[in-house]
Amino acid sequence: MHNEAKKTQTYFLHIPKTAGTSLRSVIEEQFSKDHIAPFSYMHELADIVKRDKNELANYSLFAGHLGHTLIALLPQVPRVITMIREPVSRTISRFKNLMRNRVRKSVGHERFLDPNVTIEDFLSFPPTRRLITNFQVRNLAIDFDLTQTYYDDDGKEILPKQAKLLSYTTTNMSDDELLEKAKQRLASFEFVGITDRFAESMELLLATFGWTTTMDVPHLNALRDPALTEETLSHETIAQIESYTSLDSELYRFATALFEQRYAATFHQQ
């Protein structure tokens, strides 16, 4: 099944908590293992950039939390794949992920070691609130210089992971500029899927790239907790999330329209 062409690179720009783990399993099935970049995180990319970014030309597929930053580092523009998720749903999933991993010291925020911490605590604490504040827009619109050193709010050097970089850095772009850049970049990607239309997204992905899969496309890494859903949150908490993700909501509407246009064009629907 390995369809990669040596001169064409493909990049799965994985925005956290958008069903990317499920999608990635299908994408990686299309490539031989030795053509897949053996890293998924920005700090690993930074190590390569500091050593010799020409190493990036050796791979046909990149997949991971590398933001838009990776694209300018490649010898030519790759075929880009990404998924966009409704932001309230993504926020809930991001909080659940933090709590699932709270036993790990790498979480870095001691208050979230408490199993009784709430999503309201998550939203009120600036470092964690930034993990959802228009995160999808910023993931697409902001690029980082991986030769630089970055610091947290206390002036401590941070590991340059995408989430940390977006949590502890600012930009001189206005909200309008951020959103417009994110939309432009999204429209240039060869494939944009929608998390809550996952089955249709998989159908369009396979058709777009001419791929097939042996998988049943399971929802990997799904976090199920019936006690915490959009229906169980208060109106005040929902409104708070919406205020922090207003640009992401605009991006989601744009991505949905783009997806529907491409789906109709591909499957000859009116």
What are the pLDDT digits (tens) for 46-71? Answer: 999 999 999 999 999 999 999 999 99
Q: What is the pTM of this model?
A: 0.89
Give CB contacts under 8 A, 24+ apart, made by 31-38. Answer: 31/2, 31/3, 31/4, 31/60, 31/61, 32/2, 32/4, 35/2, 35/4, 35/59, 35/60, 35/61, 36/60, 36/61, 36/63, 37/61, 37/62, 37/63, 37/64
Domains of the chain, start order: 10-267 (3.40.50.300)
Phi, psi (deg, nearest 5) at residue 60: -95, -30
pLDDT tens digits, one per residue of 90-144: 999 998 887 776 544 444 566 666 777 889 988 998 888 988 999 999 999 999 9
